[in-house]
């Protein structure tokens, strides 16, 4: 497999930044890995807090008080999407950037001949 394809697959399928590490761009690769991890963590926390505050009634101290009405869950799903679509878009932009950059930069990295 040629280096540009391998670098793009590493960044596109494994994790953004892995292709940069394969291309010996350590700072850029580490930055992309940290950025994606931070963005995904932020997204998970936002969705967790929204879910927690939606299905647990105000002042409830017991998980038996959870409100798991299907209509509420459907509303929660729509609300989570409406509040976080932009964050998912940022994740996608960073992911695509990492994949394209890994592919383009792979030809510029000197490699040992086999």
pLDDT, tens digit, for every residue of 67-107?
888 999 999 999 999 999 999 999 999 999 999 999 999 98
pTM reported for the whole predicted model: 0.84
What's the pLDDT score for residue 114? Answer: 57
Q: Rounded CA gap, 112 and 86, in Å?
A: 42
- Residue 64 confidence class, pLDDT cut points 50, 70, 90: confident
Tell me the C-alpha to C-alpha distance, in Å, between residue 7 and each of 63, 76, 86, 91: 46, 38, 27, 19
Q: Classify burial at 39, counting beta carbons within 10 Å of its beta carbon; exposed 0-12, middle 13-18, buried 19 or more.
A: middle
- State the residue for tokens 């086999």: 114
**Residue 103 and residue 4 in contact, taking contact as beta carbons nearer than 8 Å:** yes
Quick one: DSSP state of residue 67?
-
Q: Which residues of 87-107 are buried (b: 16+ CB within 10 A; e: fewer)?
A: eeeebeebbeebbebbbebbe
CA 113-20-4 angle, to 5 degrees, is 50
Instruction: Assess whether pLDDT exceeds 70 at residue 23.
Output: yes
């Amino acid at each position: 497999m040629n280096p540009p394809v391998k670098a793009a697959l590493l960044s596109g399928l494994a994790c953004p930044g892995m292709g940069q590490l394969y291309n010996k761009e350590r700072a850029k690769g580490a930055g992309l890995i940290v950025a994606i991890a931070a963005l995904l963590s932020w997204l998970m926390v936002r969705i967790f807090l929204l879910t927690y505050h939606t299905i647990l009634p105000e002042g409830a101290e017991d998980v038996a008080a959870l409100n798991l009405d299907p209509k509420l869950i459907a509303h929660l799903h729509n609300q989570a999407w409406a509040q976080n679509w932009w964050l998912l878009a940022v994740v996608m932009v960073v992911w695509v950037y990492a994949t394209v950059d890994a592919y383009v930069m792979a030809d510029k990295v000197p490699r040992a001949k086999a």
